[in-house]
């Protein structure tokens, strides 16, 4: 028996040893063999937190900040830490009731869990913040977190500046996963173009966290942290006062305005109607407003100054003259006997004037905007015997246009600029058959109609070329970048390079400039005159398939030493001289004389108050409003009599050239009464029908 | 002075010192778990706001109790063994019917502010009762009937504990078979029991093919080593082959079949997660069903143990050779490992002191176990010997299973690490177990039965 017992004692001890050896073996495997667990531990406990720098500021040409950052505070709450807080006091300060308080708590627990902070009240006002600061000790678990938000002190230049918003998956993928979910980035305008400059350099903090992702402190006393570098500032050419005026004048209008300094190519003002207050898309406001604005049929987010494609109409005529002069087809003294229309191509193109000698010279023809004259010289250019056929002549003409910046992207420093259209020969080959079209087929190109379109920016740039007599700088907003680096200089280089346009002689420019000056002094735009300044301008009244004519005006001033070139387009508002010319004139006066004369202040008010939104868009708003109202009423279960709708005005396409026939009376729109819109009962969504 | 010398006479100081060292290590580990830089160290001890403060209080209580046990007559334990056993069983049943439910198990009795887990204390009583039964004069432990009765004594509290839904605790009672083996239980029971357990766990962790190959290698080695044996006795060869066949069939056929066809998907998922493995069903329908279930149970932490094991392995693995140092662990100090002050306390040691520290720590335990075996073998009375082996078995089972579960070698069944884990009940039980042993050992010259 003792032998057996001896043996069994040994067996038990052996079992002990074996188990301990197995444990040691597994420990060896875990702790010494692979480094996988060390790495996992690091991922587990150390978190990289990105510290966002404040974005750069954009200044105007007088070093006034057009946009700024304000520090706002979010009231955040960590639900598990709140114990015995003074709920009533907090509710009183925030002006909410306890039911709302409870609701928000539940929401934040659902969203982020009990252990992570979530926003309780975003972007509290400064007064509220002061009040909260004082009482913060009463509310453990609550905290105020700083967050910089864009603010726009001048409430203008929304289309230029763009907006900052949370990135989406497409942007993240495009950036090569540089951005992360929840990051903010410039999404349009200068914010997007100069994103790399404005955003600065992110810092990284290494923090230790616990199993619930709560931050416990910095890792190794912050030795591995990198500090954020604030975004660099941008100095733009925008004149904020002029910008405000332009936007004021464009209220309740659809269209675009561009003002450029021809000497530098710096854009002084750019407005697009309808505009919006950029503060509407800053911070918390973004989520509230963006969707509504994006769906608005008037498209307030759409920058018509660089994206709107408008037929230039008569504003194109100076270019037609320059082409003809340069090709040696005419001299400034060349005249054309206009009898009130151009009859050489079958269906006549009407002209405003029928009196003899209104197109006796180029200068007169420009001043009076003679359609016949410019149709004639356009045909001369196309049928120029120097080129083999119509196509050859057209291609040469197109080359001229492209060198003037028409039909090509100019390369302004805003995203998604449009190149509008100088039609390609293929378009006409398709319409008429190859080599079967003649100058008569494309006649109205000569007066800026047909398939030709241009953006307001291109039109303003053409004015710069004429003002400078043959060169331009690519229009741009940003003159310089704070502490410019080599890559910035390379980027801005294209805005500092002079573009020579095909060597047209100064004489040709002089002739055109004189003609354009006469437009103001004795021609179609006498209401644009500013005493003491020689303005060169050209009106345009462009026919379009969307309704009433577009009102256009292009100009530059002063003639001797050009300071400003402007292009104005007001959609569906009639003659160029009615709306576009005074807008440009007021802007020039403001810029060149610093103030608008007292007697013209009334005109500023008159124009800014004029409502030129086409009735179709108004009707859309009316439908939206009544649907909303109907829904609201249904929700409230109140029976209301249907609201009498306003008389619906149906726009009608103008069928004649109004500049050619000024005496013909046609408002361009027909007023039609429509029966009130009553929403039919939606049977499909009724509960009873669902049951069946 | 005179009194003092009588208490300390015959006491095995080595065990006492090991006990003290381990308890101090335990408090330090709990402290390391809770302490954050800048916290006051002594405040929580006074106002009992933190676990290490409470543990220190329990240590004080246990020291007093230890002195009391040393002051008692060793005859008291033999005399009251059966009585205490009966009391323990009654308390367990009381807890089952009148107890408070804590984390899904009805094993706690709450009397005023005092909480008691009878099945924990029953370990001591069962150990005593078993020793008492085997040491009876008329018992011949080589007889099967005696062995069956001893088995019933050991497993009765286990049955009640299983009914209380405390499977982990119940499994501890099986460790008494080790003590019974020493007294003459046929080895094949032990081998069979252990083998089935080991095969079960291995089948969960490794793939059937790997195991099949491993079993084959083991069988061949066994045959080669014992070739002299089976030349004389061919049955020996056949028994090896039979064992090999049994193990292979178990791992490759029976267990996978049982898991895949008898159990429901969520049960399978839970079984696999016990060893920290992810269960990926082959069948897409099953996968969908499981996903649905997971979505439904999200937040109810059904797969907590899977997460526990992974986090625990990360924590231990991140310790490396020498560890991160005391109070420097990033995993254990920031609550990554749940229940790390109770069941997963070994992570703190593994992370803080690395392989070397863990080795030293395990050596302490190994020395303690061997010392208990040595003490057991020097007893003249069967009672003391059986009791000592019982204590060794309980300690061994706790240590082995607890550490194996933190390193992913055993299912997470939630039993504490002796003398280290936070928890008054557990510390109290192990103190009583150990100090009764010391008292009996001190009186080994006078206790004969």
Task: List pLDDT tens digits, range A403-456.
Answer: 999 999 999 999 889 999 999 888 888 888 888 888 888 888 988 888 899 999
Residue B135 lies in a domain: no
CA-to-CA separations, A310 to A139, A406, A452, A458, A537, in angstroms, rounded: 60, 12, 8, 10, 18
Q: How far apart are CA B5 and CA A345, in angstroms?
A: 136
Kindly calculate the radius of gyration of chain A based on its CA atoms and give it in whole angstroms: 34
Output Rg (C-alpha) for chain B, integer angstroms. 24
Which of B141, B195, B333, B334 to substitute to test the interface with A, most A CBs within 10 Å? B334
pLDDT class of B388 with cuts at 50, 70, 90: very high
Q: Is residue B14 part of a domain?
A: yes
Query: Quick check: is B395 in a domain?
Result: yes
* Mean predicted confidence (pLDDT) in B48-60: 87
More confident residue, B214 or B295: B214
Which has the higher per-residue pLDDT, B416 or A660?
B416
Asked if B400 lies within 8 A of A23 by C-beta distance, the reply is yes
Mean pLDDT, residues B43-63 taken together: 85
Task: Kindly state the helix (H) or strand (E) to which residue A481 belongs, with its residue range.
Answer: strand A478-481
Q: How far is A107 from chain B (nearest CA, A)?
A: 17
pLDDT at B331: 67
Pairwise CB contact (< 8 Å): A208 & B330? yes
Copy the structure tokens of residue A534. Answer: 């020689």
Q: Are A229 and A53 in contact (CB under 8 A)?
A: yes
How many whole angstroms separate alpha carbon A424 and alpha carbon A407?
A: 10
User: What is the Cα–Cα distance from A281 to A525, expressed in whole angstroms?
Assistant: 38
* Listed residue (A576, A578, A653) closest to A614, CA to CA: A653
> Is residue A235 within 8 Å of A228, Cβ to Cβ?
no
Element (H, E) at A378: helix A371-382
Which contacts (CB < 8 Å, 24+ apart) does range A290-295 have? A290/A165
Question: Of the spans A452-466, B92-106, B125-139, which averages the highest pLDDT?
Answer: A452-466
CB-side exposure of A32: number of CA atoms within 13 Å?
A: 13
Lowest mean pLDDT among A461-470, A503-512, B439-448: B439-448
Question: Is pLDDT at A665 greater than 90 in this prediction?
Answer: no
- Contact list, A46 vs chain B (CB under 8 Å): 330
Please tell me which of the candidates B182, B334, B404 has its beta carbon nearest to residue A211: B334
CA-to-CA distance for B170 and B157, rounded, in angstroms? 8
Res. B447: pLDDT tops 70: no
| H or E segment to which residue A68 belongs | strand A68-77
Q: What is the mean pLDDT of residues A219-224?
A: 63
**E-assigned strand segments in A282-392:** 341-342, 349-350
User: Under a CB-based contact definition with an 8 Å cutoff, are residues A209 and A47 in contact?
Assistant: yes
Measure the CA–CA gap between A314 and A554, rounded to whole angstroms.
10
**B315 contacts on A by Cβ (under 8 Å):** 41
Contact status of B180 with chain A (Cβ, < 8 Å):
no
Indicate the pLDDT class of residue B430, thresholds 50, 70 and 90: very high
- Residues of chain B above pLDDT 70, percent: 83
Higher pLDDT among residues A290 and A178, named by residue: A290
Sheet holding B100-102, edge to edge: B100-102, B105-111, B114-116
Q: Is the pLDDT of residue B104 over 70?
A: no
Give the residue numbers spanning the domain of B423: 2-71+309-442
Q: Which residue has the higher pLDDT, A569 or B300?
A: A569
Residue A38, min C-alpha distance to chain B (Å): 4
Q: Residue A473: helix, strand or coil by DSSP? A: strand
B392 falls in which pLDDT band (50, 70, 90)?
A: very high
Whether the pLDDT of residue B128 is over 90: the answer is yes
Choose between B245 and A465: higher pLDDT.
Answer: A465
Report field, pTM of the whole predicted structure over 0.80: no
Task: Give the pLDDT confidence of B302-321 residue by residue, as tens digits.
Answer: 455 666 777 788 888 888 88
Find all residues with CB under 8 Å of A587, minimum gap 6, and list them: A242, A245, A246, A249, A257, A259, A269, A564, A566
Q: Which residues 212-231 of B have a C-beta within 8 angstroms of A?
A: none
| Domain count along chain B | 1
Mean pLDDT confidence for B53-62:
91
Is residue B25 situated within a structural domain? Answer: yes
Taking one residue from A and the other from B, the number of pairs with CB-CB distance under 8 angstroms is: 116
- The pLDDT score that the predictor gives to residue A225 is 66
Domain assignment of residue B263, yes or no = no
Examine residue B322 and state whether it is found in any structural domain, yes or no: yes
Question: How buried is A450 (Cβ within 10 angstroms: 0-12 exposed, 13-18 middle, 19+ buried)?
Answer: middle
Percent residues over pLDDT 90 in chain A: 32
Residue B182: its chain A contacts at CB < 8 A?
5, 8-9, 12
Query: Given an 8 Å threshold on Cβ–Cβ distance, is A38 in contact with B311?
Result: no
The CATH number of domain A240-286+303-578+588-609 is 3.40.50.620: no
Q: What is the pLDDT of residues B12-22, one digit of tens each?
A: 899 999 999 99
Kindly state the average pLDDT of the residues A88-109: 86
Going by C-beta distance under 8 Å and a sequence separation of 6 or more, which residues neighbour residue A597? A589
Task: Evaluate whether A311 touches A449 at the Cβ level (below 8 Å).
Answer: yes
Which residue in this structure is represented by tokens 């070994």? B346
Q: Who among B335, B354, B404 is closest to A31 (CB)?
A: B354
Pairing relationship of beta strands B100-102 and B105-111 according to DSSP bridges: antiparallel
CA atoms of B416 and B345, how far apart (whole Å): 9
Q: How would you classify the pairing of strands A536-544 and A547-557?
A: antiparallel
**Tokens 């082409």 found at:** A323
**pLDDT at residue A652 tops 90:** no
pLDDT, tens digit, for every residue of A477-496? 999 998 888 888 888 888 98
- How far is residue A309's CA from residue A278's CA, in Å, rounded to a whole number? 24
For the segment B343-349, the average pLDDT, to the nearest whole number, is 89
Reported confidence tier of residue B323, pLDDT bands at 50, 70, 90: confident
Task: Name beta bridge partners: A550.
Answer: A542
B182 touches chain A (CB under 8 A): yes
pLDDT at B335 exceeding the cut of 70: no
Element housing B240 (H / E): helix B234-249
Nearest to A31 among B355, B389, B400 (CB): B355
CA atoms within 13 A on the CB side of A50: 13
Using CB atoms within 10 Å of the CB of residue A30, give its burial: 0 to 12 exposed, 13 to 18 middle, 19+ buried: buried
Reported as a pLDDT band with limits 50, 70 and 90, residue A502 is confident
Q: Which of B332, B305, B440, B419 is nearest to B368 (CA)?
A: B419
Whether the per-residue pLDDT at A347 is higher than 90: the answer is: no
A13 with B370: Cβ contact below 8 A: yes
* Domain presence at residue B62: yes
């Amino acid at each position: 028996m003792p032998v057996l017992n001896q043996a069994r004692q040994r067996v038990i001890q052996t079992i002990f040893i074996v188990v301990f050896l197995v444990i040691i073996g597994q420990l060896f495997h875990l702790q010494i063999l692979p480094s996988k667990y060390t790495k996992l531990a690091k991922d587990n406990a150390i978190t990289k937190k990105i510290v966002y720098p404040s974005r750069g500021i954009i200044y105007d040409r007088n070093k006034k900040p057009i946009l700024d950052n304000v520090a706002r505070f979010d009231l955040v709450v960590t639900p598990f830490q709140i114990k015995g807080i003074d709920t009533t006091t907090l509710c009183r300060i925030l002006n909410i009731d306890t039911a709302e308080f409870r609701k928000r708590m539940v929401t934040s627990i659902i969203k982020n869990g009990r252990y992570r902070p979530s926003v309780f009240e975003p972007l509290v006002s400064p007064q509220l913040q002061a009040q909260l600061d004082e009482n913060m000790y009463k509310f453990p678990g609550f905290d105020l977190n700083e967050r910089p938000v864009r603010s726009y002190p001048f409430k203008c230049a929304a289309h230029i500046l763009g907006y900052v918003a949370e990135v989406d998956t497409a942007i993240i993928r495009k950036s090569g996963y540089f951005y992360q979910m929840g990051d903010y980035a410039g999404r349009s305008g200068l914010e997007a173009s100069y994103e790399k400059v404005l955003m600065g350099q992110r810092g990284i903090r290494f923090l230790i966290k616990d199993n619930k992702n709560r931050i416990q402190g910095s890792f190794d006393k912050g030795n591995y942290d990198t500090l954020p570098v604030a975004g660099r500032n941008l100095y733009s050419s925008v004149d904020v006062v002029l910008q405000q005026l332009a936007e004021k004048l464009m209220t309740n209008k659809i269209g675009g305005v561009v003002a450029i300094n021809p000497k530098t190519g710096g854009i002084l003002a750019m407005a697009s109607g309808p505009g919006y207050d950029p503060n509407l898309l800053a911070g918390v406001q973004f989520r509230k407003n963006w969707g509504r604005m994006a769906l608005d049929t008037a498209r307030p987010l759409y920058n018509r100054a660089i994206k709107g494609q408008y037929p230039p109409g008569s504003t194109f005529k100076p270019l037609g003259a320059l082409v003809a002069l340069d090709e040696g087809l005419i001299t400034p003294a060349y005249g054309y006997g206009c009898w009130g229309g151009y009859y050489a191509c079958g269906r006549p193109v009407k002209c405003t004037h029928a009196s003899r000698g209104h197109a006796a010279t180029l200068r007169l023809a420009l001043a009076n905007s003679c359609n016949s004259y410019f149709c004639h010289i356009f045909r001369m250019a196309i049928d120029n015997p120097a080129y083999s056929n119509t196509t050859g002549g057209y291609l040469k003409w197109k080359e001229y246009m492209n060198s003037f910046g028409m039909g090509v992207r100019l390369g302004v420093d805003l995203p998604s600029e449009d190149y509008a259209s100088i039609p390609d020969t293929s378009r006409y080959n398709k319409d008429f058959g190859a080599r079967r079209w003649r100058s008569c087929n494309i006649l109205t190109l000569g007066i800026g109609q047909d398939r030709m379109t241009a953006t307001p920016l291109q039109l303003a740039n053409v004015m710069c070329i004429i003002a400078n007599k043959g060169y331009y700088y690519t229009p741009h907003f940003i003159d310089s970048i704070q502490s410019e680096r080599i890559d910035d200089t390379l980027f801005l280089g294209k805005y500092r390079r002079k573009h020579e346009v095909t060597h047209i002689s100064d004489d040709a420019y002089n002739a055109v400039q004189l003609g354009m000056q006469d437009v103001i002094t004795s021609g179609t735009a006498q209401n644009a005159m500013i005493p003491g300044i020689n303005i060169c301008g050209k009106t345009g009244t462009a026919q379009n398939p969307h309704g009433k004519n577009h009102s256009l005006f292009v100009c530059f001033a002063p003639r001797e030493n050009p300071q400003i070139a402007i292009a104005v387009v007001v959609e569906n508002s009639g003659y160029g001289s009615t709306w576009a010319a005074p807008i440009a004139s007021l802007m020039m006066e403001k810029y060149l004389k610093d103030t608008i004369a007292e007697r013209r202040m009334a005109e500023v008010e008159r124009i800014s108050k004029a409502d030129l939104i086409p009735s179709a868009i108004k009707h859309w708003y009316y439908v939206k409003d009544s649907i909303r109202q109907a829904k609201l009423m249904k929700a409230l279960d109140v029976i209301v009599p249907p609201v009498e709708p306003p008389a619906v005005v149906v726009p009608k396409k103008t069928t004649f050239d109004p500049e050619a026939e000024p005496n013909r009376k046609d408002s361009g729109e027909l007023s039609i009464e429509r029966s009130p819109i009553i929403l039919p009962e939606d049977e499909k969504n009724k509960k009873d029908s669902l049951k069946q | 002075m005179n009194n003092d010398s009588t208490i300390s006479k015959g006491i095995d100081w080595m065990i006492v010192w090991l006990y003290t060292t381990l308890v101090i290590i335990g408090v330090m580990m709990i402290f390391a778990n809770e302490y954050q830089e800048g916290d006051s160290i002594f405040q929580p001890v006074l106002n009992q706001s933190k676990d290490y403060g409470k543990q220190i209080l329990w240590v004080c209580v246990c020291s007093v109790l230890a002195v009391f046990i040393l002051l008692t007559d060793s005859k008291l334990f033999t005399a009251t063994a059966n009585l205490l056993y009966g009391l323990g069983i009654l308390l367990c049943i009381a807890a089952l019917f009148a107890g408070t439910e804590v984390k899904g198990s009805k094993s706690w009795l709450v009397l005023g502010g005092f909480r008691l887990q009878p099945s924990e204390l029953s370990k001591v009583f069962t150990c005593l009762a078993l020793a008492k039964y085997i040491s009876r004069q008329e018992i011949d432990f080589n007889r099967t009937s005696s062995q069956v009765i001893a088995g019933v004594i050991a497993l009765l509290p286990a049955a009640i504990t299983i009914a209380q839904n405390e499977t982990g605790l119940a499994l501890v009672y099986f460790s008494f078979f080790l003590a019974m083996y020493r007294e003459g239980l046929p080895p094949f029971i032990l081998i069979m029991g252990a083998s089935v357990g080991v095969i079960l766990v291995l089948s969960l962790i490794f793939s059937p093919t790997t195991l099949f190959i491993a079993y084959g290698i083991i069988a061949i080695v066994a045959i080669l080593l014992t070739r002299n044996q089976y030349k004389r006795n061919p049955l020996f060869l056949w028994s090896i082959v039979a064992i090999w066949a049994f193990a292979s069939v178990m791992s490759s056929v029976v267990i996978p079949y049982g898991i895949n066809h008898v159990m429901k998907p969520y049960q399978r998922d839970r079984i696999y997660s016990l060893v920290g493995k992810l269960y990926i069903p082959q069948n897409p329908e099953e996968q969908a069903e499981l996903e649905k279930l997971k979505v439904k149970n999200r937040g109810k932490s059904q797969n907590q143990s899977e997460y526990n094991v992974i986090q625990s392995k990360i924590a231990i693995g991140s310790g490396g050779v020498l560890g991160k140092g005391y109070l420097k662990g990033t995993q254990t100090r920031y609550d990554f490992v749940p229940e790390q002050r109770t069941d997963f306390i070994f992570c703190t040691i593994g992370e803080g002191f690395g392989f070397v520290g863990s080795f030293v720590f395990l050596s302490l335990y190994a020395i303690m176990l061997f010392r208990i075996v040595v003490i057991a073998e020097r007893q003249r009375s069967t009672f003391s010997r059986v009791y000592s082996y019982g204590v060794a078995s309980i300690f061994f089972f706790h240590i082995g299973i607890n550490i194996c579960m933190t390193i992913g070698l055993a299912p997470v069944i939630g039993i504490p690490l002796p003398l280290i884990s936070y928890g008054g009940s557990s510390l109290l039980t192990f103190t009583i177990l150990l100090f009764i042993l010391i008292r009996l050992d001190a009186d080994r010259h006078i206790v004969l039965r």
